[in-house]
Amino acid sequence: MVKVLIIDDSSFQRRILSGMLTDMGCEVIPADNGMVGIKRAIEDAPDILITDLLMPEYDGYWVLEQLRSQNLPLPVIVITSDIQTTTVERCHRMGAKAFLNKPVKKEDLHAAIRTALAGGT
């Protein structure tokens, strides 16, 4: 069973993503901000991390920086409504394996997880 850490400040988005992931047979670990998410990444050893990009205080960029600085080699999928090319490029440079626009479609999420776990971009 794939263990997925979801970091999103919106409880609604966490519920939606959790439902999709549970339907796919994944175990879900929720976190409501980047600080909690990094702590859960260290303690719970997920297989993959899904993070919102725009959150107060500890945002998705901060999460990506922390993963790199703490040498946590987790594949990351970024989800956001910010679809600017510069944002996508920045996330990929920071180590994100996939970038999905909100609202996330189940088939896109499933494909992104498969690709990220296989080591693709």
Q: Domain for residue 59, yes or no? A: yes
Q: Domain for residue 112, yes or no? A: no
- HSE on the CB side for 24, CA within 13 Å? 22
Segments forming the whole domain that contains residue 65: 3-84+95-105
Q: Domain for residue 101, yes or no? A: yes
Query: What tens digit of pLDDT does each residue of 76-113 get?
Result: 999 998 878 999 999 999 999 999 999 999 999 999 99
Q: Domain for residue 100, yes or no? A: yes
pLDDT of residue 57: 86
Query: What tens digit of pLDDT does each residue of 43-86 get?
Result: 999 999 999 999 998 999 999 999 999 999 999 999 998 878 99
Q: Domain for residue 119, yes or no? A: no
Q: For residue 119, what pLDDT band results from cuts at 50, 70 and 90?
A: confident
Q: Domain for residue 26, yes or no? A: yes
Q: What is the CATH number of the domain that holds 20?
A: 3.40.50.2300
Q: Domain for residue 110, yes or no? A: no
Q: Domain for residue 48, yes or no? A: yes
Q: Residue 121 above 60 pLDDT?
A: no
Domain count, the chain: 1
